[in-house]
A and B are shown apart, each in its own frame.
Chain A
Amino acid sequence: MENSQPIPRNSLVWLLASMFAGIAPHFSRLPLWVIAVCLLCGSWRIMVYRSRWKLPGRWIKALLVFSSFAAVLGHYGTLFGPDAGTALLILGFCFKLLETHNRKDAFTVVVLGFFVVATAFFYTQSMLSAGYLLLVCFMVTAALIGLNQTPLQTDPKRTARRAFKLLLQSIPLMLVLFVFVPRVAPLWSLDLSGSRAKTGLSDRITPGDIAELSRSPELAFRVEFEGSIPDTSKLYWRGLVLDHYDGATWSRGVSNNEQSLMDREPMVAGFNGEGIPWQASVRFQGDQYRYRVIMEPTDKRWLFALPAARSENRRVGFSRDFRLLSDTPISQPFSYSVSSDLRFSLDTSLPRWLAQRNLQLPETGNPRSRQLAERLLKQSKTASSYVTQVLTFFSEKTFSYTLRPPRLTGDRIDQFLFETRQGFCSHYAGAFVYLMRSAGIPARIVAGYQGGEINPLGGHLLVHQFDAHAWAEVWLPGQGWKRADPTAVIAPSRVEQGVEEALSEEQSFLEDSVLSPLRYRSINWLTQFRFAWDYVNFAWHRSVLGYDAKLQADFLSRLLGPVDFKKLGLIMVLLTTLVLLGLAGLLFLNRRGHSRDPLLQIYLKFCKRMAAKGIRRMPGESAGEYLQRLIKKYPDKASEMEELTDLYTQATYSSNYSSNGEGSQQATLSRMKRLLRTL
């Protein structure tokens, strides 16, 4: 068992297989040159295996290693963090495999292989990829088993069977650990830097952006309500507040000195249960809903919730405009519990700086819109009647809702309000806010999602990217911020039934996603299937990916009553022992049963049956003597009993029997069984 022994071929085959399979899920994400280097190493190793090439020399290896380090540093700007770390790990895995020529090296490769499997879960956590990575785990295990076999053992299938058995037997124990090992808080804070392009809202809106999103059938998040689900028309999922307009694009607040602070979330508090300084600005007034949002990764910090929201989650904080924010960008599926009071008041008295901020407009431009605002303001006595005037303006003129609006240039608001009059939610929200601000009423754009689709199987709500929406919030004296959705005036069906219904004339719903089952919602069985698949994924997200400290505490306390660490530890040890004992029983008790000669077993069954009829086989009595006694008593069954006894004695004592092979033994066994049944 020397470590310097060469690697059994059996193991190498599995190592190579697991290398290719293990790196495959990283392919789409890794820079091209990493993949090229991996493939080079893999094929080189195969050529060595086939004795065509030699293992690389020391200088080539050193060159490969150093240039890879430099390239990773150049590409990612760092050697640490999950992205650069994974790239290094994968390169290391390939290099180590290339230079592997003894057991010790091969064991290192196996360890790296398990690491590569684990790191893949940074980037993908779907059920399918989990299944796939379990398969890779199986290959790495097979390679490890191969390492410990003797060179005489060259059948890779045998190795695979053993690996399969081991993994299968490990799974019950894994489940026990998964459920019971306490989920503790992160030991130190980490940030998964996001370099991946994700579909979703962005923090600036040029009219037209949301139209792009509306073409995406991807899931944005799921919501599981504790009680009833509010009406679709009330489902305004706030995500972002945009309060700066530069004449073309709406974006998040830019500070007074005009320096871009896009990446910094200003005025955020409330993480880890800390107090919020502006808590007094919000008042919850009832109509409460409790729900859990399970969202897909966005690589952004903002979260989605109905107004006005509260969350106990320690990773969730609040912005000044009372949106929810996560402490780090959401780089993997994330779930959080929220309670929302649909009746609320926010900023009943508006601080001056905040008012100024929400009155910002470019100095010049859009003269006709400003005139319109002036005219409408003169006709209204109060701010709220001005709002009504503006909405009436939208409903009376010939505005239409479309995903294919004409292009706007120059004085965009003027063009939209007086010429094209075709647009999408962001056009309407933008024009609305412009008109409000022109009249000296604080207003802002809110971007998020509106509506959702209920999955009847899980009773949960699905919110897709095409549900992306933009609307406005306007500040009214004495009432605070109120929602105003001009789109609802122009296309009520958008808010009540969703974007598909609103676009039914235009036929532009998901026109780029021909393959998406969402496009064919009218086909019943397809929808059923989609809901079923979603339900399974929902369960996966909720019970597996979202199994965090809170869910664990809930689940375990429901299962076992109040739990503490001591009790949990005790239960875990107990269950682990039980599972292992059960497995040991399966492995070792089974052995004895098998060791019995099957022929003898059948013959003993025969004796037992005869004993029940009254003739017991005496100690020391031979099978032949016993047969004679039996025949005397039951002459009618003589031939069957004789044949059975003959088969048994011949098979057991005759020397030429064993040479007849498996097949004839099987035949004898089944013949004996048949005879036994007749008796």
Chain B
Amino acid sequence: MIALLQRPKQLLNSWSESWLERRSPKTRSLTLNQQRIFIIPTRDGIGFLLMLAAIFVGGINYANSLILGVSFLLVSLFLVSILHTYGNLSGLQISAGRSQNAFVGEEAVFTLNLNSEGEQDYEAIWFYWGEGKPQAVNLIGDQELSVRMLLPVNQRGYYSPPRLKIETRFPLGLLRAWSWIDLDTSCLVYPKPRINDYPRRNEGAGLDGERLLHEGSDDFDGLKTYVAGDSPRNVAWKTYARTGDMYSKVFVGQEDHEHWLDWEAFAGLAIEERLSRLCYWVTQLSDEGRTFGLRLPGVEIRPARGELHRSECLERLACYGLGDLDHKRVNVGEAE
């Protein structure tokens, strides 16, 4: 019986969800139009209507044409402001721009590109997106604008933001026009890095924390031709400036020691703990420009270095155990 009572609400929710989906399907870019814009009076607007009703009654009771005139003017103002409020959203083009991956507990950056169709100005448009801080935007004079929205992320893996709400009450605040947009954008959320000492006893697995931290990555050995993926911090910029050719500096330590970051090194810890610690080391070693490999159950990434390598490792950590990686990979290419 109770289940029966609960059902209608669920049904309503899922119905409105699917209705929204049909009306405003997931997309990379769209123009706001009457199909997507909803508009209703705000609480202020209802107060305004009550006020003008009071003025109207006063005008009737005192048989005063001009007081009636004021109430008519205010009704008209209200009705005309429906058009203006609607017009303050309609024709606005919104497209998903770049998104930046983030670590758990940080804020992911999503960029929205706004474009006005024609010379229309847009004023006081508010963006509400998930748990991010709402932002107000004016699009006056210039035809294009990028808005960076910060969205807190707290779960590793692929993150698709919820529907974006675009709202405006301009010009009179008596009406609220809004639109829900399902933007097809996402970012990768890496595990939260946890600072730690790399366990010593797993030396056989190839990595010695001490050595790694203190030993000779600074022994310059020579130059080699730059290969895509080499860390930019190792590029010999001075040579590049002189000759126009790109070379990477080679250090003794890097060439000699191929380090392995191993899942098994953190045996005994919970999965998320292990990922967090590995994540720390991935960022740490990449920052230092070292060569390292990553071993996770069922996955082995051969030692390498550079940005590509770093993101591949981080991606593996982010998606560990979540499955369906290859499918998602396509998306990350677009987002980056």
Residues of A at the B interface (CB closer than 8 Å) are 1, 82, 107, 111, 114-115, 117-118, 121-122, 125, 130, 133, 137, 141, 144-145, 147-150, 152-153, 162, 166-167, 169-174, 177-178, 181, 183-184, 186-188, 190, 192, 332, 544-548, 576, 580, 583-584, 587-588, 591-592, 594-595
**What are the residues of chain A within 8 A of B69 when measuring CB–CB?**
130, 174, 178, 544
**What are the residues of chain B within 8 A of A592 when measuring CB–CB?**
118
Q: Is the CB of A122 within 8 A of B91?
A: no
- Of the candidate stretches B16-24, B51-59, B301-309, the one touching chain A is B51-59
Closest chain A CB from B128 CB (angstroms): 9
Q: Which of B54, B66, B123, B134 has the most CB of A within 10 A?
A: B66
Q: Is the CB of A153 within 8 A of B55?
A: no
- 18 A-B contacts, Cβ less than 8 Å apart? A107-B44, A118-B59, A118-B67, A130-B66, A150-B123, A152-B138, A166-B171, A170-B73, A170-B76, A178-B65, A178-B68, A181-B72, A186-B61, A186-B63, A332-B64, A546-B65, A548-B63, A583-B83
Q: Which of A147, A166, A580, A592 has the most CB of B within 10 A?
A: A166
Write the B223-237 contact mask toward A (1 if CB under 8 angstroms, else 0).
Answer: 000000000000000
**Bound Cα distance A315, B55 (Å):** 23
Q: Which of B44, B47, B74, B91 has the most CB of A within 10 A?
A: B44
Q: Is the CB of A192 within 8 A of B62?
A: yes
**What are the residues of chain B within 8 A of A147 when measuring CB–CB?**
173
Q: Is the CB of A545 within 8 A of B65?
A: yes
Point out the residue from A82, A121, A580, A584 that lies within 8 Å of B70, measured CB to CB: A121
**Bound Cα distance A170, B82 (Å):** 11
**What are the residues of chain A within 8 A of B172 when measuring CB–CB?**
141, 144-145, 148, 166
Given A121-B64, A544-B66, A545-B65: A576 in contact with B171 (beta carbons within 8 A)? no
Q: Which of B68, B73, B83 has the most CB of A within 10 A?
A: B73
Q: Does B119 contact A (CB under 8 A)?
A: yes
**Bound Cα distance A545, B73 (Å):** 16
**What are the residues of chain B within 8 A of A177 when measuring CB–CB?**
72, 75-76
Q: Is the CB of A148 within 8 A of B170?
A: yes
**What are the residues of chain B within 8 A of A547 when measuring CB–CB?**
65
**Which applies to chain B's interface (DSSP): helix, strand, loop or mixed?**
helix
Q: Is the CB of A166 within 8 A of B170?
A: no
**What are the residues of chain A within 8 A of B90 when measuring CB–CB?**
588
- With both beta carbons as reference points, the residue of chain B lying nearest to A103 in the complex is identified as B173
Point out the residue from B51, B61, B80 that lies within 8 Å of A111, measured CB to CB: B51
- With both beta carbons as reference points, the residue of chain B lying nearest to A334 in the complex is identified as B63
**Bound Cα distance A118, B70 (Å):** 6
Q: Is the CB of B76 within 8 A of A1?
A: no
**What are the residues of chain A within 8 A of B137 when measuring CB–CB?**
150
Task: Other than A114-B51, A122-B64, A166-B81, give 10 A-B pairs with Cβ distance below 8 A.
Answer: A115-B51, A122-B62, A145-B171, A152-B138, A166-B172, A181-B68, A186-B63, A188-B61, A584-B83, A588-B87
- With both beta carbons as reference points, the residue of chain B lying nearest to A1 in the complex is identified as B126
Closest chain B CB from A249 CB (angstroms): 34
Closest chain A CB from B122 CB (angstroms): 11
Closest chain A CB from B32 CB (angstroms): 13
Q: Closest 7 interchain pairs by CB?
A: A595-B118, A170-B76, A173-B76, A177-B72, A121-B66, A148-B173, A150-B136
**Bound Cα distance A122, B169 (Å):** 33
Closest chain A CB from B48 CB (angstroms): 7
**What are the residues of chain B within 8 A of A183 when measuring CB–CB?**
60, 68
**What are the residues of chain A within 8 A of B91 when measuring CB–CB?**
588, 591
**What are the residues of chain B within 8 A of A149 when measuring CB–CB?**
123-124, 170
**What are the residues of chain A within 8 A of B87 when measuring CB–CB?**
587-588
Q: How many residues of B contact A (CB 8 A)?
A: 54
- With both beta carbons as reference points, the residue of chain A lying nearest to B42 in the complex is identified as A1
Point out the residue from A114, A167, A187 that lies within 8 Å of B55, measured CB to CB: A114
Write the B123-158 contact mask toward A (1 if CB under 8 angstroms, else 0).
Answer: 110100000001011101000000000000000000
Given A125-B66, A580-B79: A114 in contact with B84 (beta carbons within 8 A)? no
Q: Is the CB of B47 within 8 A of A111?
A: yes
- With both beta carbons as reference points, the residue of chain A lying nearest to B66 in the complex is identified as A121
Q: Does B71 contact A (CB under 8 A)?
A: yes
- With both beta carbons as reference points, the residue of chain B lying nearest to A82 in the complex is identified as B62
Q: Is the CB of A190 within 8 A of B83?
A: no
Q: Does B77 contact A (CB under 8 A)?
A: yes
**Bound Cα distance A622, B296 (Å):** 58
- With both beta carbons as reference points, the residue of chain A lying nearest to B174 in the complex is identified as A144
Closest chain B CB from A47 CB (angstroms): 27
Closest chain A CB from B267 CB (angstroms): 51
Q: Does B120 contact A (CB under 8 A)?
A: yes
Q: Is the CB of A117 within 8 A of B57?
A: no
Q: Does B262 contact A (CB under 8 A)?
A: no
Given A190-B61, A591-B91: A121 in contact with B80 (beta carbons within 8 A)? no
Q: Is the CB of A544 within 8 A of B138?
A: no
**Bound Cα distance A230, B209 (Å):** 119
- With both beta carbons as reference points, the residue of chain A lying nearest to B173 in the complex is identified as A148
Q: Which of B52, B62, B87, B117 has the most CB of A within 10 A?
A: B62
- With both beta carbons as reference points, the residue of chain A lying nearest to B116 in the complex is identified as A595
**Bound Cα distance A149, B75 (Å):** 22
Q: Is the CB of A167 within 8 A of B64?
A: no
**Bound Cα distance A152, B120 (Å):** 18
Given A148-B124, A580-B79, A595-B119: A187 in contact with B60 (beta carbons within 8 A)? yes
Q: Which of A117, A187, A188 has the most CB of B within 10 A?
A: A117
Point out the residue from A148, A162, A188, A546 that lies within 8 Å of B169, measured CB to CB: A148
Q: Does B315 contact A (CB under 8 A)?
A: no
Q: Which of B61, B64, B80, B118 has the most CB of A within 10 A?
A: B80
**What are the residues of chain B within 8 A of A166 when measuring CB–CB?**
77, 80-81, 84, 171-172
**What are the residues of chain B within 8 A of A595 when measuring CB–CB?**
117-119
Q: Which of A178, A190, A545 has the most CB of B within 10 A?
A: A178
**What are the residues of chain A within 8 A of B182 when measuring CB–CB?**
none
- With both beta carbons as reference points, the residue of chain B lying nearest to A551 in the complex is identified as B65
**What are the residues of chain A within 8 A of B117 when measuring CB–CB?**
591, 595
Contact residues, B36-54 vs A (CB, 8 A): 44, 47-48, 51-52, 54
Given A111-B47, A332-B62: A118 in contact with B118 (beta carbons within 8 A)? no
Q: Is the CB of A121 within 8 A of B67?
A: yes
Q: Is the CB of A107 within 8 A of B173?
A: yes
Q: Is the CB of B77 within 8 A of A117?
A: no
**Bound Cα distance A192, B73 (Å):** 24
Q: Is the CB of B123 within 8 A of A153?
A: yes
Q: Is the CB of B126 within 8 A of A544?
A: no
**What are the residues of chain B within 8 A of A153 when measuring CB–CB?**
123-124, 138, 140
**What are the residues of chain A within 8 A of B173 when measuring CB–CB?**
107, 144, 147-148
Q: Is the CB of B61 within 8 A of A118?
A: no
- With both beta carbons as reference points, the residue of chain A lying nearest to B61 in the complex is identified as A186
Closest chain A CB from B138 CB (angstroms): 6
**What are the residues of chain B within 8 A of A187 when measuring CB–CB?**
57, 60-61
Closest chain A CB from B146 CB (angstroms): 16
- With both beta carbons as reference points, the residue of chain B lying nearest to A111 in the complex is identified as B51
**Bound Cα distance A181, B65 (Å):** 11
**Bound Cα distance A117, B59 (Å):** 13
**Bound Cα distance A114, B54 (Å):** 11
**What are the residues of chain B within 8 A of A170 when measuring CB–CB?**
73, 76-77, 79-80
Q: Which of A172, A174, A178, A545 has the most CB of B within 10 A?
A: A174
Q: Which of B58, B72, B119 has the most CB of A within 10 A?
A: B72
**What are the residues of chain A within 8 A of B67 when measuring CB–CB?**
118, 121-122
- With both beta carbons as reference points, the residue of chain A lying nearest to B55 in the complex is identified as A118
**What are the residues of chain A within 8 A of B73 when measuring CB–CB?**
137, 167, 170-171, 174
Closest chain B CB from A505 CB (angstroms): 45
**What are the residues of chain A within 8 A of B138 when measuring CB–CB?**
150, 152-153
**What are the residues of chain A within 8 A of B61 when measuring CB–CB?**
186-188, 190
Q: Is the CB of B124 within 8 A of A150?
A: yes
Write the B194-223 contact mask toward A (1 if CB under 8 angstroms, else 0).
Answer: 000000000000000000000000000000
